[in-house]
């Protein structure tokens, strides 16, 4: 399995993950000690299973 993460607010990165065939898995919320703007929306995880990969 391949896993990629980005901030939920990062729509460009999310679109790239979707375009290469990754699937949204979950959103997690982390209590960062020095949060950056947008982190309050969480971090999204995308996954690609071996069976879904064209090369495998």
pTM of the model: 0.83
Which regions of the chain does DSSP assign to beta strands (E)?
2-7, 23-28, 43-48
Residues 6+ apart with CB under 8 A from 9: 38, 41
Per-residue pLDDT of 28-50, as tens digits, reads 999 989 999 999 999 999 999 88
- Mean pLDDT estimate for the chain: 93
Predicted pLDDT of residue 48: 95
Domain boundaries, the chain: 2-52
Query: What pLDDT, on a 0 to 100 scale, did the predictor assign at position 29?
Result: 96
What is the mean predicted confidence (pLDDT) over 11-24? 96
User: What is the structure's pLDDT at 56?
Assistant: 56
């Amino acid at each position: 399995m391949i896993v990629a993460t980005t901030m939920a607010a990062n729509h460009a990165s999310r679109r790239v993950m979707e375009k290469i065939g990754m699937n949204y898995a979950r959103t997690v919320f982390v209590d960062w000690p020095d949060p950056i703007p947008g982190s309050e929306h969480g971090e999204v995880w995308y996954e690609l299973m071996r069976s879904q990969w064209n090369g495998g």
